[in-house]
Structure 1
Amino acid sequence: MNRLLKHLSMVVISTFMMVSMLSHAASLPDFTELVDEASPAVVNISTEQTITTKTANQNGQQFGPNSEELNEFFKHFFGQQPFGQQAPQQGQRSSLGSGFIISHDGYVLTNNHVIDGADVIHVRLSDRREYLAELVGTDPRTDLALLKIDAEDLPIVKMGDSDKLKPGQWVLAIGSPFGFDYTVTAGIVSATGRNLPSDSYVPFIQTDVAINPGNSGGPLFNLDGEVIGINSQIYTRSGGFMGVSFAIPSKVAMSVADQLKNEGKVSRAWLGVLIQDVSNDLAESFGLDRSNGALISRVLPDSPAEKAGLKPGDIIMMFNGENIEHSGELPYVVGQLKAGDKVDAKVYRDGKEQTINVSLDERPSDPKVLAQSQQDQNRLGMIVGEVPADMAKEFDIEGGVVIEQIIGGTAARNGLQQGDVITMLNGKRVEGVSDFTATAKDIPNGRSVPMRVIRQGYPMFIPFKIIE
């Protein structure tokens, strides 16, 4: 009887385990149909680039552009290169990536870094047809490029709405990692709206899909077979996949592709502020219930923000109807608008909210460079801004400017650091950025002048000398 009971128990347990395994297997998605339908519109992209390498003489000295006069001397009088030097060598550099077809007449979307600097771009389809591609346009800020091949009636991908994507959803990538064409990898969405330091205009989709070199520019699909992202970056310490991948949302990609196709370039609006996150301590110091919004640390001169009356210390809570929870969200929201757009900015100032109307301008080629050049004219090798209200309150500072970035050797040589507050220069009190810039213009070269600096609450004078 006991043996029978044991046998029945084993049968029940085995049956339960089999049902559980079958149930688990049934809950996993089957990607075969998706891959069959989507693969024909995924392409392999390879490039060729001619590079010129410098050569060295027998002592290992490099001969490059700086030795042009010496080269001309030897060639003119002796008809040869300098002793021990060979002519610069030309070679071919190739790169490999992925892409996908977005129109029946041959428009292909990929990453900018896949084709950057290429002399020749090859696009190969799944049926092994190969075409030379024309570069329609690029947008390095979002790392996107639009290509055109001379073909008709091509298969295309279905584009999806990346705004509907949620963490935990299944996604699938098709690409050419390490040159292995049409490799399929799958995973889930780990997070959305990721802001990376190098890409302030892209709210990346983070996934755990295995992405490696060669996957760049390839599509990321949802379970409906729609492209909801373009695989672009990985986080790695080894050069290979480590479980963290980033894709450009399809909404961003198609907006860029449309502008490149119709106008040949991408235009973005510009606000003209430097911003930072609102920490818990900052939120408390400003009187906010919680940490949210984008804190303005500096308003750039002659910018839309300055014209609208925005000030350092303002916290942007909402922009053009979009809530701003983190500072990294603001550049993306602004970047989706166009020059001339008039929008409302809800800001928190002096303990209460108010709405300020802003008329946006065309984004300069590089606002950071503009800001740097305006401040760099003072020859001090630093970018300065107004002292944030919380810092002024904490260290009891009146006026002054805070060093936001060390950009040259002069400031570094004199021992200045990011975060130092300058309250006096060459015997004159510094009330703000305009005072600092005006005073700095009169500093003579090669002679030390006194500078009063507050570092972490401790004031001190240092001798400051400009050597050019």
Structure 2
Amino acid sequence: MKHAAGTLAFLARCVVIGLAAAFVIGLFWPGSGERLRVRLGLPATPDASAPGIAAPASYAGAVAVAAPSVVNIYANKIVNERAIKMYDNPILQQLLGGTLTTYARREQTLGSGVIVSAQGYVLTNYHVIAHATDIQVLLYDGRVAKATVVGSDEETDLAVLKIDAGNLPVIRLAEQKPRPGDVVLAIGNPLGLNQTVTMGIVSAVGRQLNGSSAEDFIQTDAAINLGNSGGALVNADGRLVGINTLLIGKAANAEGIGFAIPAGTAKKVLDQIVATGHVVRGWLGADYTFVPVAANSGLPAAARGALVTDVYPGSPAAQAGIQPHDILLRIGDDDIRDPSDLRRRESAIKPGTTVELSGLRNGSPFHTSATLTERPPMSMEAATPESTP
């Protein structure tokens, strides 16, 4: 027993002496331990202060890839305004006052666009070119081209223009969808300043700005200002991830909240407009909301599925016997996660297609089928924005 205690005491003294020696050596000869590890062929000690992933010192490479594909758009329109015309003669002014008249004035809207095809197709926002009588496009290399409207989609706030020019730099679409936290760059023509780049991150994806719309948006804190509309939102590789569309500003006590249309959505709209001149969406003819759950149930605030709040008379839903308060759980072969998911799946179905619908009515399962029609035109509602850039 005494022998074991003596051995432990000896080992403890050795450890203390060794630690003290290491401290003195490290204090007076810093780096000696690392040199010894290298001499013995041992791996170097990792630097705990070094970040796991180093951010690039510059995004100039991404800008150089994407910027040539971003154009400035100048949309001219004639606006009729009413005014009071006053007489030049002071006596006539006193006797007759003024007369109501209408006069026309020219108004120019600034915006941005993205070249998406070597054939001259340019994506921009619908509100940039709405009611325009003349549209001019300024290319990155200084050329100016007259643009014609191929078609537009008010619901997604997208429009397709066509310019007659050669040797066009076409932007490349990102292969992966953006994730919250990804670095993004907004390129456009804010306030008429021509090519301007702002940087931020993806704040969120799948944002629903209009309860009746099937589309979702990318939220970003990259600065988007008036004139950025229709410009490119690109990733750190210069690939297109979205089309900038609107901002929520200080009037809503918000800062750093902008939105972009996902590139995948924009590509689908582009393909349909080029092929047919407009976008076709399936329509069931009902309004939905989240499925409520009792507060004491221990379940999430909203359950899976979509609760029917209204059915339009004569619509496919009405003909299928769907009623308000029904809970829709499945459309075709797909489960329904929430109302937004149902709207996206519904709009993606070709009009004239018959689909099976499953759900609950008063707690009991039901099944029916509906033949979807084309969605009627919808007026796009703003999501309390301060302005659309």
Shared topology, TM-score over 0.5?
A: yes
Partner in structure 2 of residue 343 of structure 1: 355
| SS in structure 2 of the partner of residue 256 of structure 1 | helix
Instruction: Select 1:50's aligned residue among 71, 78, 82.
Output: 78
How far apart, in 2, do the equivalents of 1:288 and 1:355 lie? 26
Alpha-carbon distance in structure 2 between the residues aligned to 1:234 and 1:47: 20
Q: 1:139 aligns with which of 143, 153, 174?
A: 153
> Please, which runs of 5 or more residues in structure 1 have no aligned partner?
13-18, 60-81, 369-468
Contact 1:320 1:344 survives alignment (8 Å): yes
Deviations 1:213-267 (A, max 9, x none): 1111111112332212111111123499811111111121111111111111111
Taking the TM superposition and a 5 Å limit, the aligned residue runs for 1:228-239 are: 228-238=241-251
CA distance in 2, matches of 1:241, 1:30: 28
CA offsets per residue over residues 108-162 of structure 1, 9 Å max, x none? 0000001111111111111110111011111111100000001123110012356
Give the structure 1 partner of residue 179 of structure 2.
Answer: 166
Looking at structure 2, the residues matched to 127 and 222 of structure 1 have their Cα atoms a distance apart, in angstroms, of 23
Report the CA distance shift for 1:195/1:349 in structure 2 as closer, same or farther (over 3 A): same
CA distance in 2, matches of 1:367, 1:119: 22
Corresponding position of 1:305: 317
Letter in 1 for 2:205: T
Using the alignment, how far apart are the partners of 1:155 and 1:290 within structure 2?
A: 46
Pair 1:279-2:292 in alignment? yes
CA contact (8 A) 1:161 1:250 kept: no
The residue type paired with residue 270 of structure 1 is W
Report the equivalent of 2:273.
260
- Superposed counterparts of 1:282-297, under 5 Å: 291-297=303-309
What is the rounded CA distance, in whole Å, between the counterparts of 2:139 and 2:211 in structure 1? 32
After superposition, give the CA deviation of every residue in 1:76-131 in whole Å (9 maximum; x if it has no partner).
xxxxxx86337533221111111100111210000000111111111111111011
2:129 to 96, 112, 115: 115
For 2:118 and 2:184, the matched residues in 1 are separated by: 25
CA deviations on 1:390-428 (whole Å, 9 max, x unpaired) are xxxxxxxxxxxxxxxxxxxxxxxxxxxxxxxxxxxxxxx
Supply the distance in 2 between the matched residues of 1:159 and 1:137 (Cα, whole angstroms).
21
Q: Distance in 1 between matches of 2:71 and 2:198?
A: 16
Label 1:155 to 1:288 Cα distance change in 2 as closer, same or farther (>3 A): closer
Name which of structure 1's ranges 138-147 and 295-304 shifts more when overlaid on structure 2. Answer: 295-304
CA 1:93–1:282: 2 relative to 1, 3 Å = farther
**Measured at CA, do residues 134 and 281 of structure 1 come closer, stay the same or move farther in structure 2, by a change above 3 Å?**
same
Give the TM-score taking structure 1 as reference length: 0.64
The answer to which of 218-227 and 322-331 deviates more is 322-331
The aligned residue for residue 334 of structure 1 is 346
Which residue pairs with 2:329 in the alignment? 317
Letter in 2 for 1:328: S
1:99 and 2:113 correspond: yes
Overall identity of the aligned pairs, in %: 39
Matches within 5 A, 1:427-442: none
Give, in whole Å, the separation in 1 of the partners of 2:379 and 2:359: 22
**Alpha-carbon distance in structure 1 between the residues aligned to 2:112 and 2:50:** 36
Is the CA contact (8 Å cut-off) linking 1:283 and 1:291 kept in structure 2?
A: no
Q: Choose 82-91 or 207-216, whichever is displaced more.
A: 82-91
Amino acid at match of 1:364: P
Aligned residues: 332
Higher RCO, Cα 8 Å, sep 6+: 2
In structure 1, C-alpha distance between the alignment counterparts of 2:238 and 2:318, rounded to whole Å: 46
Change in 2 beyond 3 A, CA 1:300/1:161:
farther
Alignment map for 1:413-424 (pairs within 5 Å): none
Question: 2:290–2:306: 8 Å Cα contact kept in structure 1?
Answer: yes
Distance 2:366 2:276 in 1: 37
SS of the equivalent of 1:158 reads coil
Matching residue within 234, 256, 260 for 1:243: 256
Task: State the partner residue of 2:42.
Answer: none
Q: Residue 147 of structure 1 aligns to a residue in which SS?
A: strand
Q: Which runs of 5+ in 2 are unaligned?
A: 1-23, 32-46, 88-95, 381-389
Give 3-state SS (helix, strand or coil) of 2:194's partner.
coil
Checking the alignment, whether the CA contact within 8 Å between 1:210 and 1:241 is kept in structure 2 is no
TM-score (norm 2): 0.76
- Measure the CA separation in 2 of the matches of 1:338 and 1:37: 36
Amino acid at match of 1:149: I
Aligned to 2:213, the other structure's residue is in SS state strand
Match of 1:64 in 2: none
Contact 2:212 2:287 (C-alpha < 8 Å) held by counterparts: no
The residue identity in structure 1 corresponding to 2:143 is R
- Letter of the 2:373 partner, please give it: D
Question: For 1:351-372, what per-residue CA distance to the aligned partner results, in whole angstroms no more than 9, with x for missing partners?
Answer: 354543322112223599xxxx
Question: Does residue 347 of structure 2 align to residue 365 of structure 1?
Answer: no
